[in-house]
């Protein structure tokens, strides 16, 4: 009976935001995905940049199996990790504490717009979050469409950033959610093109973000700051953003090559728990 019901489920894509974001219905991630279903999900992801499947209750292996259809899971458990998890590519984002100390990543409140691990030479292509506990208010994740952010720039700005490189830096020694005035010199960092060409869509998009992009190569500080601020404002325009309001059981995947994301504040005393997996990406060009 159950199998029959699954076999007849109709797959559909329902747009959630004007700029990006779509819900996929009629796909069961607890079972191995056939090639036709994968092609459907993959296209929906490339077209909508962020996809969400509601009401999932996946274990780690099922989440990893889904992610592996898109590429190789990226190990996250570097020297600075607080706590090892059951899989080298799995990380928990939560405000859980043991003995008064946070045991997971990104435990606190608001977080500025960022591209995951853009301070590495090959940033992940995708991040997959599965929500397990959510607070009663707040904690939405906001996504920005970086194709639109690039396309809306004035031709004179596009000319100034053509071929430019940006230094992306992430300082693990601060809370990691807001840019500090001073960043340690030995914080992980990488130079990348300011405008990258998406390897699958072939479209140009901005590859900068407020949390981690520090300066443009070969420019005076004032000019670099001015251009970065122009791009951050384009990224953060309301018409380029969609806010995801979490429910328990959401399985959400974003394209980390052409989006950035930010998090709204939430009550510190309420548990927010996400299981995160990232998929290896290319060197941006």
The least distance separating ligand SIN from the CB of residue 33, rounded to whole angstroms, comes to 24
Choice between 203 and 247, CB closer to ligand SIN: 247
- Spatial neighbors of 101 by CB under 8 A, at least 6 apart, are none
Choice between 224 and 256, CB closer to ligand SIN: 256
Choice between 58 and 216, CB closer to ligand SIN: 58
Q: Which residues contact ligand SIN by CB under 6 A?
A: 93, 106, 111, 116, 127, 141, 261, 263, 274
| For the chain, the helix, strand and coil percentages under 3-state DSSP, each to the nearest 5 | 20, 30, 50
The least distance separating ligand SIN from the CB of residue 161, rounded to whole angstroms, comes to 25
Choice between 130 and 261, CB closer to ligand SIN: 261
The least distance separating ligand SIN from the CB of residue 140, rounded to whole angstroms, comes to 8
- Spatial neighbors of 189 by CB under 8 A, at least 6 apart, are 119, 167, 168, 169, 170, 214
- Spatial neighbors of 221 by CB under 8 A, at least 6 apart, are 215
* Euclidean distance between CA atoms 222 and 149, whole angstroms: 22
The C-alpha torsion from 231 through 237 and 241 to 247, rounded to 10°, is: 110
The least distance separating ligand SIN from the CB of residue 278, rounded to whole angstroms, comes to 9
Choice between 52 and 227, CB closer to ligand SIN: 52
The least distance separating ligand SIN from the CB of residue 27, rounded to whole angstroms, comes to 22
């Amino acid at each position: 009976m159950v199998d029959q019901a699954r076999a007849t489920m109709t797959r559909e894509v329902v747009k959630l935001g004007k700029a990006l974001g779509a819900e996929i219905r009629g796909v069961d991630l607890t079972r191995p995905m056939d090639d036709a279903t994968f092609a459907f999900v993959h296209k929906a992801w490339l077209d909508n940049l962020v996809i969400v499947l509601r009401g999932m209750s996946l274990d780690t292996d099922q989440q990893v199996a889904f992610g592996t259809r898109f590429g190789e899971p990226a190990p996250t458990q570097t020297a600075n990790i607080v706590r090892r998890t059951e899989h080298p590519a799995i990380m928990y984002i939560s405000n859980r504490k043991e003995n008064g100390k946070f045991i997971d990543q990104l435990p606190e409140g608001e977080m500025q717009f960022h591209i995951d691990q853009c301070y590495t030479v090959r940033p992940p292509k995708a991040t997959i979050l599965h929500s397990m506990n959510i607070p009663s208010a707040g904690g939405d994740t906001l996504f920005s469409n970086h194709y639109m952010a690039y396309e809306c720039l004035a031709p004179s700005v596009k000319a100034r950033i053509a071929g430019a490189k940006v230094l992306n830096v992430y300082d693990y020694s601060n809370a990691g959610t807001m840019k500090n005035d001073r960043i340690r010199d030995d914080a992980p960092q990488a130079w990348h093109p300011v405008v990258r060409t998406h390897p699958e869509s072939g479209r140009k998009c901005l590859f900068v973000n407020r949390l981690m992009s520090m300066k443009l190569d070969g420019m005076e500080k004032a000019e670099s700051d001015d251009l970065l601020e122009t791009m951050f404002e384009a990224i953060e325009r309301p018409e380029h953003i969609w806010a995801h309001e979490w429910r328990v059981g959401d399985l959400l995947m974003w394209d980390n090559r052409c989006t950035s994301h930010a998090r709204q504040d939430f009550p510190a005393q309420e548990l927010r728990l996400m299981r995160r997996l990232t998929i290896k990406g290319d060197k941006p060009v």
